[in-house]
């Protein structure tokens, strides 16, 4: 279904397990994770927080927007997830065979980073 255990997802089926797709989704998730910096006090108090965002891209890989699909329940944590999405202005394009499945963008899960 395009979903991995780390939360990165694109629409479509039959792509999970493909080595090219697996490399690409790890690359994209890492880009968002690098920019995700929730308050440590919030994470310490709530280590299981998760925020889910949809990130839209255009045909060149430019990030054109984002929206919260599932808030974590903690406004500060959600703002940190949104700030991470806003910090990413361009993403590498997926391998050609997956571009149609990523045309609507991605769902990215922001899990609490280890302290």
Q: pLDDT tens, 70-115?
A: 999 999 999 999 999 999 999 999 999 888 888 888 889 999 998 8
Q: pLDDT tens, 8-22?
A: 665 444 577 889 988
- Quote the pLDDT of residue 9: 62
Distances (CA, A) of 48 to 14, 38, 74, 92: 30, 13, 11, 29
Tell me phi and psi for residue 5, to 5 degrees. Answer: -70, -15
Q: pLDDT tens, 26-59?
A: 899 999 999 999 999 999 999 999 999 999 999 9
Q: Using CA atoms, how far apart are residues 9 and 109, in angstroms rounded to an integer?
A: 9
């Amino acid at each position: 279904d395009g979903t991995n255990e780390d939360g990165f997802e694109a629409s479509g089926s039959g792509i999970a397990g493909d080595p090219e797709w697996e490399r690409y989704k790890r690359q994209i998730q890492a880009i968002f994770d690098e920019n995700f910096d929730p308050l440590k006090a919030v994470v310490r108090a709530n280590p299981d927080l998760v925020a889910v965002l949809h990130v839209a891209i255009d045909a060149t890989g430019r990030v054109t927007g984002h929206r919260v699909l599932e808030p974590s329940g903690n406004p500060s944590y959600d703002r940190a997830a949104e700030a991470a999405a806003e910090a990413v202005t361009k993403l590498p394009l997926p391998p050609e065979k997956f571009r149609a499945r990523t045309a609507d963008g991605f769902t990215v899960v922001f899990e609490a980073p280890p302290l």
